Every structure is written in C-alpha cells, then in structure tokens.
C-alpha cells in the first residue's frame, strides 16, 4: 500500500517503519487515505439539527448521572468529544485520571498516540467522535464492573444512534468485548469484520494506545487494523 508523505511522518511517530517508492506521485498518494471534512452544522437539515439537540440533552443527562457508585468518586463525567456528525467513531474503555480532570477522552500520552494513529489514515482528531464504554473513571483505573457497563450502556447506544457513524473503531479488549457482547480475546478479534447490534454498522477492533505504550512492537499490527478499517470505510462510502 502506498502512503503519502504526511502519513509516512505519522507512522514514524508511531514507531512503524515504512518503505516508500521514490517514483510515487504525491497527488496519487493523497487519494489513498482521504480525510473527512467537518460539516457546517448551520446548513444541516432539521432532522440533523434535532439530533444535535438530542445530543445536548444526552450530555446533560450524563453529566448528572447517578446510576452507579462511580458518580461518588468522579471529578466530572467524560461524555465524548469530536465531530458530532462524524463518519468515524472511536470507542475506548473508560476515563483515566487525566480524562477525569479534563473531561475529555484520550488525553495524555495515550491520547497523543491515538492522534498519531488517526493521522496515519488521514484523519484529524476533530474529524472523528471519541467516546468510552464508561462515562466515569473507575477508582485506581481498575477494569469496569459489569453493573457499571450496564449503567452506561444506554448512553453509549444513544450516542451511536445520534452521531450515526459509518464505522466504529473499538480500541482495547474491554471496549471491544463490551461493545460486541463477546468474550473473544482481542488477539483473535483483530482482523475480523464485526457489526454493531442490529444496525449492521461495521466495527473494527484494535489494541488500546495505552497498551501500545507498554508494548511498542504491536504498533505494526495496529497499522494493519487501521488499513483494514479504511478499506471497509471506502467500500461503504
């Protein structure tokens, strides 16, 4: 697969070696992984404006949620961030300490690596929507409990419904298993084409950026997952 100069730079940041042909034309390269334009909300249809309003309502509901005990230990909820009409939705596990303080998912080192992963396929962070299975941080960054996932499940389902992404990238074992309702090890989930619920919306599974920081040799596998996700996306658009 050919990559553009920009993608080459971001792959280098991820620690992935890529061979490039000197004869490759930049114009052709840029067509391989096109970005997605952020849409002008002011020009959208009444139906889209209604969905955006519903997202605002959902945000307020999440901010005041007391469905599980995590509300007693959180600094704030972490609803999600990004383009609310995005074609791509990135779903992780749960907020960490930095996310709990800032109210935004995937910040810090793991967030910067996620940004590089997205840039490698031509996407800015602002062009996707990023959310988590849980909206509150579990104490000491422990794994989410089943009852906590259940308490947040309706919120995530509604987010997906209103944002209506064309493809979902599930990052990390816990996110993937809970989203897809399976207990398959993440190593076996990689490379498979899943579908979310009854919508048929494609889901691609890859490793969590925090895991990649501990296991940098796995970054090449993530690059393969991202390529697969982009191929699927291009086929459906």
pLDDT digits (tens, 9 = 90+) for 147-184: 999 999 999 999 999 999 999 999 999 999 999 999 99
Percent with pLDDT over 90 in the chain: 76
User: How many CB atoms are located within 10 Å of the residue 173 CB?
Assistant: 20
User: Do residues 169 and 207 touch, judged by C-beta distance below 8 A?
Assistant: no
pLDDT digits (tens, 9 = 90+) for 14-23: 565 543 433 3
Task: Specify the DSSP element, H or E, that contains 92.
Answer: strand 88-92
Across 126-143, b (16+ Cβ under 10 Å) vs e yields ebbbbbbbbbbbbeeeee
Q: How far apart are CA 225 and CA 14, in angstroms?
A: 14
CATH top-level class for 50-236? alpha beta
Q: In the predicted model, is pLDDT for residue 235 greater than 60?
A: yes
Confidence of residue 33 (pLDDT cuts 50, 70, 90): very low
DSSP 28: H
Question: Quick check: 97 pLDDT over 50?
Answer: yes
* Nearby residues of 215 by Cβ (< 8 Å), 6 or more positions away: 207
Angle (CA) 145 147 151, round 5° = 120
The two tokens of residue 213 are 């920081």
Rounded to an integer, the average pLDDT of 85-97 is 97
For 187, residues 6+ apart whose C-beta sits below 8 A from its C-beta are none
Cα–Cα distance for residue pair 41/233, rounded to 1 Å: 23
Cα–Cα distance measured from residue 25 to residue 5, given in angstroms and rounded to the nearest whole number: 10
Distance CA 145, CA 142 (A): 9
Chain segment 70-84, per-residue pLDDT in tens: 999 999 999 999 999
């Amino acid at each position: 697969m050919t990559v553009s100069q920009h993608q080459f730079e971001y792959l280098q940041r991820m620690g992935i070696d890529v061979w490039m042909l000197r004869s490759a034309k930049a114009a052709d390269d840029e067509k391989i992984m096109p970005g997605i334009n952020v849409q002008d909300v002011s020009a959208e249809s009444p139906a889209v404006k209604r969905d955006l309003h519903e997202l605002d309502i959902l945000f307020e509901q999440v901010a005041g949620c007391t469905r599980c005990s995590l509300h007693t230990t959180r600094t704030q909820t972490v609803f999600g961030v990004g383009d609310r009409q995005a074609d791509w939705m990135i779903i992780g596990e749960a907020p960490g300490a930095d996310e709990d303080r800032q109210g935004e998912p995937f910040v810090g080192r793991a967030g910067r690596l996620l940004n590089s992963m997205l840039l490698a396929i031509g996407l800015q962070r602002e062009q996707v929507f990023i959310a988590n299975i849980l909206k509150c941080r579990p104490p000491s960054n422990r794994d989410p409990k089943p009852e906590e996932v259940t308490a947040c499940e309706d919120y995530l389902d509604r987010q997906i419904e209103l944002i209506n992404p064309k493809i979902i990238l599930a990052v990390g074992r816990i996110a993937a298993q809970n989203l897809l309702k399976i207990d398959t090890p993440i190593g076996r989930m990689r490379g498979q084409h899943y579908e979310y619920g009854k919508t048929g919306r494609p889901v691609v599974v890859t490793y969590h950026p925090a895991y990649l920081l501990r296991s940098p040799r796995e970054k090449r596998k993530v690059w393969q997952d991202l390529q697969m996700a982009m191929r699927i996306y291009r086929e459906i658009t």
